[in-house]
Structures are given as C-alpha cells and as structure tokens.
Amino acid sequence: MKEFFRKTMVSLKRNPQNIALVGLAFAFIYYSFNLTKISDTTAKIQGPNMGLCGFITMLFSILSFVCFLNAFPKRQKPRISMLVIMYLMFAAIIFCDIVYRGRIAAAMAREDFAGVLETADYIPKAMHVVTVHAVLVCAVALLVALLPVYGRALKKIKTSIDLEYSGNLENIEIDD
C-alpha cells in the first residue's frame, strides 16, 4: 500500500495536471449522469433557449477535454492558445448553467406551475444539478489556474526510496 501511494505521488509529480483532469472528468460525468433530469425539465418547462443551453453545456464539456489534453502535451510547455479556448468554453458552460437555472426559477415562480412541481420532482433536482455543475466547472478552472503553484509544491515532496547498502563498491570482484 505504501508503494502504491509512492508511485501515485511520483506520477503526480511528473504530471500535476492530472489533478485538474480528474476534476474535469468528475464534472462531466456528474452532468452526464443527470442528463435525464435536465432533458425532462427542458421538455416540461419549455423555456426559451433551455434546450440550447443543455446542448452547449454537453458539447463544450466534451470539447473542453480535447482542449485540456491538447493544452498539456507530454514533455512540452503548455499551449496557451488551448488554455484560452478551454477557459472560453468554461465561461460558456457556466453561463449556460446560470441561464438554465434562471429559466427553472422563473418557471417555478409562475402561478400556473405550482401543481406541476408535485408530480415532477426532477425539476428541483435539475436545478440542483446545474448549480453543482457550475460550481464544479469553476473549481476545475481554479485548479487549472493554480497548476503552477501546486505543481511546485508536489515537486518538493520526497518520493525517493532510501536503499540500505552495507558493502563497499570497491571491494566487489567481477573477475569470473
């Protein structure tokens, strides 16, 4: 178990961007697994641009993976242009989540909508999903921005193994 954690730390020291990649994957999976609630809510409320917001959020979530992986090529410096595009996608995702949440809140405030909430319990859940998704995307954006800071901190962690060696290298005979 100790060796597993050491190897994991060595891997993180070499590729600290994997922490942000895991966060990005978690945000994408969270939204994807709750897409049924989002779709049902869009069909029930039919607010303006709700379907478009869901589509853009899903599309940019997938494309942000591509930008992230292209932004951090192996053994090369990060590509700033891909990071800029990725942050623009993050901004669009957060904007769409906020718009979608606003459409749900506006629909829930209508008088004729009061009876619908009793039968459609997925609507408040969808509102919660888009709020949590926006927070997760903000956290990933923060992780990517702080990558140089925690990358240096990870490099300071000692992961080498101290080998016990009691012999003298000069006394070893290899004449056979």
- Mean pLDDT of the region 66-84: 91
Question: Between these two residues, 174 and 55, which has the higher pLDDT value?
Answer: 55
CB 86 within 8 A of CB 65: no
Q: Whole-number mean pLDDT of the chain?
A: 87
State both tokens at 158: 């000692």
- Between the alpha carbon of residue 110 and those of residues 10, 33, 50, 126, 147, the distances in Å are 55, 29, 17, 17, 44
pLDDT of residue 144 exceeding 80:
yes
Reported residue count of the chain is: 176
- Mean pLDDT of the region 77-88: 94
The predicted structure's pLDDT at residue 76? 86
Look at residues 97, 82, 119, 14 and name the one whose alpha carbon lies nearest to residue 50.
Answer: 97
- Mean pLDDT of the region 161-169: 61
